Amino acid sequence: MPLQDLTPQLRTRLSRVERLVGLFVTVATILLIVGLTYYVVQTAKRKGWGRQKLPYFLLIDSATGLQLGSRVRLMGFDIGEITQITAGEPYDPYNVFVQIRVWEPYFGYIWADSRAKILSADFLGGRFIEVTKGTNAPPSFLFYELRTVSIKDAQGLVDRPNVVLGQEIYVTNQMVLGAFAPLTSSNYNTIAQLGIANVKIIDKGVKTKKPEGMWDDKTATYQPVPVENKGYWLQVEESPALTERLERVVNAVEEALPDFLGLTNKLASVLTNAAAIFTHADDLLVTAKPALTNLTARLDTVLASSDKTIITAQTNINLVVSNLVVTLENVGNLTSNLNAQVQANGFILRQISDLIVHSDEAVQGLKRHWLLKGAFGPGTNQAPESVVKPRLE
Amino acid sequence: MKKGLAIVLGVALLAGCRSSKPPPPVPLHVEEAQRAAAQAAKLSEEANWAAAAKQWDLAADFYFLLNDRTNAAIALHNLGQAYRGGDDFASAEQALAEAAKINEELGRRKEWFRNYLALAQVAANAGDTNVQAKRLEVLSKAVTEIPEPELKGTFHNEMGLWRLEQGRFSEAAEALERAESYFKEAKDRYGVATVRANEAKLYERQGNYPAAMDSWQVALGDFEALANPAGITRSLLGLGRTLLLANQDLPKAEDLLRRAARNYETLKKPKELQEAQTLLAKCLKAQGKTE
């Protein structure tokens, strides 16, 4: 029916409904936009969008438990993610190449003495990378102007407040000047005496947004960042994967088992020998009775046989004791492996405790929720009252 | 338009309602005292009197440390009841008297009345008739101030028992009747069952055995409905005793007395067990059985 055919009252009512629908659509759109924006902001934070990222790489024995996109940590913060995991060349000493990207500003904490630790994350064999903060070495990437100047030109820069060395100076494996050492006249003289033709200089007065240099451990200098940069090599302290640890424990048990079995076999032979001794002794006693006349001769025989038996028993006991020592050592290895296992997963109790506490908090929250609180009964610890009951005679 | 907007807002608010804020945390020592009292109440409920007495004592100490005299008096009252349950009447009297003193100072008349009722019961249990009479007299002056029918019923029940002991049967019957009506008003089924059992005893003392048997039977049914072991056992004993006194259906009386004795053994009530065993011996003798 066309709108014009409706009564004025109905038309007014319909236009109200239209306005209401319009308002609802507007509110829903605003909510959608706000939600989407929030999601995008959170994702950007999580993924490090809009922040400078620098590559680092690790060479490790096994990729077990590592995944692309897994977080990398430093001092408890997520500082980047794993971007590449590939197997090394067949003849490479290292098995796996792992590349990570570290977000701004965390690469400032990674210096030449930083180490990457591959740690167990859970009981299911997951592992993660944790980078340690540098303490006493040059930063991995340089964000100041880097120049290579001749020793002659360097003379003109002596005693300038912002000018420092961009390399380490060695005299037969002994470092005499470290990177970032100021270019004082005495330091300049030291360099000049060593006959170094060119020297790398950092001007701390000129900061750069992009990294000017990357520390090279081989030459102990900052080198310009190459275009195809696979990153700075982080040395690794790799803890073996859970499966490997378990395998080691099983191997230790496997190694210990034959010793246990050997021990029981030896014990059986000792017992057999002891039984034989008693049999011999019994025979001797039986034969000794009628042989009183040749007692001395028989006694000699008995003593000789006893001596032999004792020597055999002593040998067997020595063997048993030595086997026992080996067994105990194996048991010791076993317990130390278990101890290492417990140490590596030390956080699990805490995590279980947190899980219980959070579950309790969740249930307490549900108990207070307006919709669900009716499903829970009243508190059991009600305030006590004075009780007096009628007496029954 | 406005109405529609209000509905939309209402629906949005209702859908987005979150749970109420968690209550502020109870201070540690208050929680400690509350936990001790709750534990003690459970022990009293289980009639584990020795453990209940220790726990109520602890709860009273905690409340005194917090200077919470109201709850301390409650703990002391229940401590007295626990002592009474364990037949330590001197300690019970001491705890209840202390509770009564505190409640009197605080002007808590209803609580004070409860304390005094319990004191009268302790005196009755201890067989101290003079003290019991004095306390009932004090209570009879105060009972008009008390609005709770449950407390009034308990008071009249005590009066009825007191008069029963004195042999003033008509007054006892009147008091028990009033007690029953108050308990009915309060919808206290345990109170009603108790009064019926006491009435049965009154009829028994009057030599009205048929009425006594009927009352014991009704009381037994009530206590069974309440699943109250002490009441059930008392009714079994009473019914068996009445049958024995009336010299009727002695095998049934024997069976009832055996059941009562067994239950008292389970309930660890030596005094009542002895009574049941004595009655059983009499019953067996009356039947010519030698056991």
What is the dihedral sign for C-alpha A161, A167, A168, A169? negative
Span A49-62, pLDDT tens digits = 888 889 999 988 88
Q: ipTM exceeding 0.95?
A: no
**Confidence at residue A195, expressed as pLDDT on a 0 to 100 scale:** 85
**What is the percent of chain A where pLDDT is above 90?**
15
E strand segments, chain A: 53-60, 71-74, 77-87, 96-103, 115-120, 127-131, 141-142, 144-150, 163-165, 169-171, 174-177, 198-207, 213-216, 221-224, 232-233, 235-238
Contacting B residues, span 70-109, partner chain A, CB-CB under 8 Å: 71, 73-75, 77-78, 81, 99
**Confidence at residue B116, expressed as pLDDT on a 0 to 100 scale:** 94
Span B66-118, pLDDT tens digits = 999 999 999 999 999 999 998 899 999 999 999 999 999 999 999 999 999 99
Mean pLDDT of A13-35: 91
- Give the pLDDT band (50/70/90) at residue A218: confident
- Mutate: best of A31, A388, A389, partner B, most B CBs <10 A: A388
Sequence-distant (6+) residues with CB within 8 A of B285 are none
- Give the pLDDT band (50/70/90) at residue A292: low
Sequence-distant (6+) residues with CB within 8 A of B61 are none
Question: Strand A163-165 to strand A198-207: parallel, antiparallel, or no bridges (unpaired)?
Answer: antiparallel
- Mutate: best of B19, B31, B112, B177, partner A, most A CBs <10 A: B19
Of the ranges A42-46, A179-183, A368-372, the best mean pLDDT one: A179-183
Mean pLDDT of A231-236: 89
* pTM passes above 0.80: no
Instruction: Tell me the fold of B30-129.
Output: 1.25.40
CB-CB neighbours of B240 under 10 Å: 26
Contact A177, A169 (CB under 8 A): yes
Question: Which residue in chain B has the smallest CA separation from A389?
Answer: B154
Span B155-212, pLDDT tens digits = 999 999 999 999 999 999 999 999 999 999 999 999 999 999 999 999 999 999 999 9
Which among B41, B78, B234 has a CA at the least distance from the CA of A391?
Answer: B234
Contact A216, A224 (CB under 8 A): no
Distance from CA of A243 to the nearest CA of B (A): 45
**Confidence at residue A365, expressed as pLDDT on a 0 to 100 scale:** 81
Contact yes or no for A388 and B35 at CB 8 A: no
